[in-house]
Amino acid sequence: MEHHDVIIIGAGAAGLMCAATAGYRGRDVLVIDNAKQAGRKILISGGGRCNFTNQKVEPANFICRNPHFVKSALARYRSQDFIELVERHGIEYHERDHGQLFCNDSAKEIVTMLLTECEWAGARIQLRTDIISVSKNDSGLFVLHTSKGEYSCDSLVVATGGLSMPKLGATPLGYQLAEQFGLKVLPTCAGLVPFTWHSEQKQKFEPLSGIAVPSTITAQDGTQFSEALLFTHRGLSGPAVLQISNYWRPGETISINLLPHMDAAQGLSEALELHPKQSLRNTLSQWLPKRLIEVLFDEALLNMALNQLVHAQRDKVVADLHRWELLMNGTEGYRTAEVTLGGVDTDELSSKDMQSKKVAGLFFVGEVMDVSGWLGGFNFQWAWSSGVAAGLAV
Ligand code: FDA
């Protein structure tokens, strides 16, 4: 049996970061992954340019049953620390809206950087290896039976990620290991994911596919995001929708403000004064795409001149534009989700080093735990910060 100080299951963002950190401390580290390639999610992230962190990372950007849990790791390894690492490797990057940082060239550079760090730190990565079983023996060592042989280690780090994008090899192994060792796993569901239409909505709204508009979307718990909304063949997507999906639960409505930058009541009053005979259609078409207007309001109403509309009709138009209430069918699920909500309960882990409170030497890092970030580089920042926290302790 081959022994290592530390074995990390998962050569993704959190696992690689943890491996390099532990390796630099002189620990003998082996990373095991069943995939052909390390860091596959990093490679496809951010449209191939990896939104690797955010200039402004706050605990409020994360969803976790215990909102205080993320504070220690995020303070210990900040987005600035990762930016410095990226700069040391000569990777050029740029900032987009809301402080999001992307590689100028390719997400490959982030994977190469992490693999180089692992190499410099002496951490070995073994791919194409299936985990058959994991146990803890009487001497307190973890024993792993794999498709490539048996291994033992003093510290075991589970960095297997979430369930999103099964075609990239996502598996529930991390949750199974947590349960096997007696740790509670909170129910999981797809996060940062597009919504789907009910069948009757689909008929009505499918022709709008491709239209993008600025919006503010509010979930039933009052959480709001102001970003673009995109109509798709299947439903709604775009950054505002992905963000709000983290706060939506089946059966709940969402409220969409289609004119977040103006007051529609005031706009209609001004238009009525200036052009009383102008049709509602022509008035609204100055503010929103005509195709959208024609689906939202009925033909007869749109053909009316502004001075023909009674107060109640005007109020209804304003309400529909600023507070469009929608009951969506559901989400596209793990198939297209960027993250998994829920996971290993953080009450089971130390917020300082991500170690199980019940099982000494067992660590969980990254998305496998009940921590999910907003869209905008926050999920990778959690992978880096939690990976470093464990890497300093294993
Ligand atoms: P990650 O999924 O990266 O790694 C898990 C590793 O474990 C994988 O290598 C996997 O092969 C391995 N593994 C799983 N099961 C195993 C098993 N049974 N045996 C052995 N190995 C196993 N975030 C962000 O901040 N900015 C962005 O731009 C994006 N963009 C983005 C795009 C898309 C399409 C997706 C799906 C996701 C994103 N994300 C993102 C989210 C981000 O990719 C994600 O939060 C992190 O990769 C999580 O890092 P982990 O290391 O926890 O898991």
Tell me: do 167 and 314 sit in the same domain: no
Does 239 contact ligand 1 (Cβ within 6 A)?
Answer: no
Residue nearest to atom 4 of ligand 1 (CA): 12
Tell me: do 249 and 303 sit in the same domain: yes
Q: Is 45 helix (H, G, I), strand (E, B) or coil?
A: helix
Tell me: do 59 and 110 sit in the same domain: yes
pLDDT at 344: 98
Distances (CA, A) of 88 to 52, 91, 96, 114, 384: 15, 8, 21, 12, 16
In angstroms, what is the span from residue 313 Cα to ligand 1's centroid?
Answer: 49
C-beta neighbour count of 137 within 10 angstroms:
9
Tell me: do 203 and 261 sit in the same domain: yes
Does 362 contact ligand 1 (Cβ within 6 A)?
Answer: no
pTM of the prediction? 0.96
Tell me: do 163 and 15 sit in the same domain: yes
Domain extent at residue 78: 2-189+340-391
Q: pLDDT digit of tens for each residue in the chain (394 aa)?
A: 999 999 999 999 999 999 999 999 999 999 999 999 999 999 999 999 999 999 999 999 999 999 999 999 999 999 999 999 999 999 999 999 999 999 999 999 999 999 999 999 999 999 999 999 999 999 999 999 999 999 999 999 999 999 999 988 899 999 999 999 999 999 999 999 999 999 999 999 999 999 999 999 999 999 999 999 999 999 999 999 999 999 999 999 999 999 999 999 999 999 999 999 999 999 999 999 999 999 999 999 999 999 999 999 999 999 999 999 999 999 999 999 999 999 999 999 999 999 999 999 999 999 999 999 999 999 999 999 999 999 999 9
Helix (H) or strand (E) holding 105: none
Tell me: do 256 and 159 sit in the same domain: no
Query: Which ligand 1 atom minimizes the distance to the CA of 34?
Result: 20
In angstroms, what is the span from residue 18 Cα to ligand 1's centroid?
Answer: 14
In angstroms, what is the span from residue 41 Cα to ligand 1's centroid?
Answer: 5
Tell me: do 33 and 10 sit in the same domain: yes
Burial zone of 24 (CB within 10 Å; 0-12 exposed, 13-18 middle, 19+ buried): middle
Does 238 contact ligand 1 (Cβ within 6 A)?
Answer: no
Asked whether 232 and 194 are in contact (CB, 8 A), the reply is yes
**Token pair for residue 343?**
């996971």
Tell me: do 84 and 139 sit in the same domain: yes
CATH number at residue 229: 2.40.30.10
Helix residue spans in the chain (DSSP H) = 13-24, 40-44, 71-76, 79-88, 108-121, 173-180, 199-205, 239-245, 264-274, 280-284, 290-296, 299-303, 311-322, 378-391
pLDDT at 169: 87
Residue nearest to atom 3 of ligand 1 (CA): 12
Does 190 contact ligand 1 (Cβ within 6 A)?
Answer: no
CATH number at residue 106: 3.50.50.60
Asked whether 203 and 188 are in contact (CB, 8 A), the reply is no
User: Shortest CA distance to 358 belongs to which of 179, 175, 187?
Assistant: 179
Total number of domains in the chain: 2
Query: d(Cα 338, Cα 355) in Å, to the nearest integer?
Result: 25
Pick from 45, 334, 341 the residue to mutate for probing ligand 1's pocket: most ligand atoms within 8 Å of its CB: 45
Check if the interface score ipTM surpasses 0.95.
yes
Does 387 contact ligand 1 (Cβ within 6 A)?
Answer: no
Does 172 contact ligand 1 (Cβ within 6 A)?
Answer: no
User: Shortest CA distance to 236 belongs to which of 187, 184, 198?
Assistant: 198
- SS3 helix, strand, coil % of the chain, rounded to 5? 40, 25, 35
In angstroms, what is the span from residue 207 Cα to ligand 1's centroid?
Answer: 34
pLDDT at 373: 98
Tell me: do 184 and 227 sit in the same domain: no
Tell me: do 182 and 200 sit in the same domain: no
